[in-house]
Structure 1
Amino acid sequence: MYGPWSSSAPVQCKDPRAVIVGDVHGCAKELRTLLRRAKLRPRCDLLYFVGDVIGKGPASVDALRDVRALSLSRNGPAYVGAVLGNHEAGFLRWLEARTLGRTAPPTSHKVEWEKWASALSSAERMWLRELPLDMALPAEFGHVRVVHAGMVPGVAVADQRREDLITIRSLLPNGTGSALPGPRGSASWAAFWRGPEHLVFGHDARRKLQRYPDATGIDSGCVYGGKLTALILHHSPPRLANESAATSLEKQAAQPSVVVPLGSPLQAARCATRAPCMIHVPAQKGSCAKEAPLGTEQGGKKGGAWGRGGKKGKPIIVEERD
């Protein structure tokens, strides 16, 4: 059996997809709906999470266990991985201080974290501790890397600060990162990122979906009454060493596959195509639906700028087309 963060897994199909899920934040009901709608194929598709699987929402322990169970399942996706989010990092720091008998830093999450500490097994805690800060997708999906918050433009991936990887939202005029969503004189770091890889990130719910030449943000604020988003990329087989460029182009024309284009914003299409696409599940009643979600100041009606869902509480599934 492959471990949850193994760099390779036995893909047993010819056309695997990479499904990248935005910030879950304990919205376990929406996560289950999203994964069901994504129709993940056992031992075929690859599944990634941008971090903050836990925190704020009503069912963080359930969401964590769902993701971990997928990563350990013999009949689950060919690969399941997640990166460390700021909520996982904060809980782990608090848990370490508590375990060592040190004075834990003051936090507004203490009541929630006490519940997690009592509920989670030692194996589940270890699973959290092993989360990486970033993950590169296989080359067949394009030059794509998953990170929770982002990176500072102009700094090599290997030289990025841990704090920026899990908290950055904005870029200050002096070129340093800021965790604030929009201080005066700042802009999203993603607007200035120029590779070398296309970054897929979460963390910045206030700005909602973000599409820049070399970065795509998919935190659409589910825990605030918004949506849970998944970005789906299709596999593009590499050209064989002894295969001519003309033959390769003929094969691509016969069975087109679109990977993330570097240098141009990722344009999502309907998921019936092989182009990059997004699936959205609105926050559901009994879970993360809110009467006053984040962003209501942006002009939304009752339920805010995010939307509310279908009749009788059933979710509306939206496939974006640009």
Structure 2
Amino acid sequence: MKFDIIGDIHGCFDEFIALIHKLGYSMETGIPVHSDGRHLAFVGDATDRGPDSLKILQLLFKMQDADALYYSPGNHCNKLYRYAKGSNVQLTHGLETTVAELDALSPNQRKQFLTRYRQFYESLPLYQTLDTDKLIIAHAGIPERLIGSPPIEKLRVFVLYGDITGEKLADGKPVRRDWAKHYQGQALIVYGHTPVKEARFLHHTVNIDTGCVFGGKLTAFRYPEMEIVSVPSLQPFLPEKFTVFD
């Protein structure tokens, strides 16, 4: 199978539509379909911060219903799930934008949407293993030692948040180790979570979160061609949001 793996969308629905059209997908059936039989896949974090989180979720729901969804949930997906269950979560780091969209619905529509989102999230694997284990899509990455392990808490935390140390930066963000520098596995790991200005290839891994919601680009990684396809963001450029690695 051939895949076009999409980086963190974060509610940037218009950029997503522009990207899939550039990749050759049609929306005539209501979901993206490629004439060459290619499949879309996602590194997660489709919502929060951007202007159209509910629109992208509605499309993902349709893809899931059509058994055409390959989606690896991220930390924002998990936080929205906890909110949808009624947990006490802080409306910060972008969740407030998605909740504002939900609050614009009628009470019945809001309840139905959150119920559907819970169903959506609960059916997702922690990460996707594709092409007979040659390709893995994990939101924040995955170390070789945890590939194929049971869904233990250490695995869940890593794929959602990355290799966090437990420490906090001055702005409140968690300190994360650069796990990709030490990856030596055979499977190709495609991930996002950490915004970079250009797709980052390192040790059989590729980070495709190019910060669309921060004014960068929305990026797709074409597999097995190993090609990058991007469209420019329509959002304001916030250079301080991008990570620069040593």
2:50 corresponds in structure 1 to 57
Aligned to 2:211: 221
Say whether residues 1:105 and 2:89 are aligned partners: yes
Partners of 2:157 and 2:214 in 1: CA distance: 24
Describe how 1:58-207 pairs up with structure 2 within 5 A. 58-73=51-66, 79-98=68-87, 104-108=88-92, 109=94, 111-115=96-100, 117-118=102-103, 119=105, 121=113, 122-139=115-132, 143-158=134-149, 160-168=154-162, 183=175, 187-206=177-196
Runs of 5+ unmatched residues, structure 2:
26-33
- The amino acid of 1:127's aligned partner reads F
1:33 to 2:28 alignment: no
Letter in 2 for 1:65: Q
Closer, same or farther: CA 79–96 of 1 in aligned 2, 3 Å: closer
- Normalising by structure 1, we get a TM-score of 0.60
Are 2:238 and 1:292 aligned? yes
Residues of 2 paired with 1:224 and 1:193: CA distance? Answer: 28
Compute the displacement of 1:69 (Å): 2.3
Unaligned runs of 5+ in 1: 1-15, 99-103, 171-175, 235-274, 299-322
Shift in Å at residue 197 of structure 1? 1.6
For the pair 1:47 / 2:37, whether they are aligned, the reply is no
- SS in structure 1 opposite 2:46? coil
Q: Distance in 1 between matches of 2:167 and 2:36?
A: 39
Q: Which residue of 1 aligns with 2:30?
A: none
Measured in 1, the distance between the counterparts of 2:40 and 2:21 equals 13
Report SS of the residue matched to 2:85.
helix
Structure ranking higher on relative contact order (CA contacts 8 Å, 6+ apart): 2
CA contact (8 A) 2:191 2:208 kept: yes
How far the C-alpha of 1:153 sits from its partner, in A, is: 5.0
Counterpart of 1:252? Answer: none
- Secondary structure of the residue aligned to 1:115 is helix
CA distance in 1, matches of 2:95, 2:18: 29
* Residue 276 of structure 1: aligned partner: 226
Give the drift of 1:230: 0.3
CA contact (8 A) 1:84 1:133 kept: yes
Whose Rg is larger?
1
SS of residue paired to 2:206: strand
In structure 2, what residue type is equivalent to 1:34?
L
1:67 positional shift: 2.5
Distance 1:291 1:80 in 2: 30
Query: Could you tell me how far 1:134 is from its partner in structure 2?
Result: 0.2
The question of whether the paired residues in 1 share the 8 Å contact of 2:220 and 2:230 is answered with yes
Quick one: structure 1 residues 64 and 282, their matched pair in 2 at CA, closer, same or farther if it must change by over 3 Å?
Answer: same
State the Cα distance separating 1:278 from its structure 2 match.
1.0
Q: Give the whole-Å Cα distance in 2 for the aligned partners of 1:106 and 1:93.
A: 10
CA 1:131–1:179 in structure 2 vs 1: closer, same or farther (change >3 Å)? Answer: farther
The answer as to whether partners of 1:177 and 1:189 remain within 8 angstroms in 2 is no
TM-aligned CA deviation for residue 21 of structure 1? 0.4
Greater strand content: 2
CA shift digits 1:46-77 (9 cap, x unpaired) = 2100000111111100111123323434xxxx
